[in-house]
């Protein structure tokens, strides 16, 4: 399922629209692939909140909040364009099937992350760009613990509802 519309570095929005039209036509009759209808798409800037908004719109679409028709699904998988499977579709399917249908698969690396002091900035997304506008002091104190995770996940129907 894709909600994001990224403007290509060359070719502008016309190239993005052509890609969207191609995807919508190609998957129109594929039952488990959904391309979000135009009014629900989001222009995405990498690193901006629009990435979160695109993900939430996909979940809202799946739950029927945007169209009034919920999809019949057990799991939602979120991948980015840089995620390429290193195993076969059969192995992916078998791995997912080995967990309960309502299991949520997320990666959290339980090793504390301590980014340097030059890593803390405040960004604003506007004018179809993400702008760094302020350098912040790093968070500190005994109650602050930072961990890393992956942006790729597979979640069950109930957790998708919770996220919406």
**How many structural domains comprise the chain?**
1
The answer to whether the CB of 130 falls within 8 A of the CB of 48 is yes
- Strand, helix or coil for residue 149: strand
The answer to whether the CB of 77 falls within 8 A of the CB of 159 is no
pLDDT at 21: 92
52-101 pLDDT, tens digit per residue, is 899 999 999 999 999 899 999 888 888 776 667 788 889 988 988 999 98
Distance separating alpha carbons of residues 23 and 35, to the nearest angstrom = 7
Helix ranges restricted to H, 27-156: 49-63, 89-97
Domain with 77, as residue range(s), is 4-163
Residue 12 has pLDDT above 60, yes or no: no
The DSSP H or E segment spanning 150 is: strand 147-156
């Amino acid at each position: 399922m894709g909600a994001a519309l990224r403007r290509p570095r060359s070719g502008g929005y016309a190239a993005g629209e052509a890609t969207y039209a191609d995807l919508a036509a190609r998957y129109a009759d594929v039952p488990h692939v959904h391309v979000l209808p135009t009014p629900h798409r989001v222009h995405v800037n990498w690193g901006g909140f629009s990435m979160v908004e695109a993900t939430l719109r996909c979940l809202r679409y799946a739950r029927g909040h945007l169209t009034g028709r919920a999809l019949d699904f057990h799991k939602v998988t979120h991948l980015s364009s840089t995620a390429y499977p290193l195993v076969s579709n059969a192995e992916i399917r078998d791995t997912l099937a080995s967990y309960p249908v309502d299991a949520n698969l997320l990666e959290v690396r339980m090793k504390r992350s301590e980014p340097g002091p030059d890593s803390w900035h405040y960004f604003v997304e506007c004018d179809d760009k993400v702008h760094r506008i302020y350098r912040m002091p790093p968070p500190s104190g005994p109650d602050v613990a930072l961990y890393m995770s992956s942006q790729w996940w597979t979640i069950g129907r109930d957790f998708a509802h919770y996220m919406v």
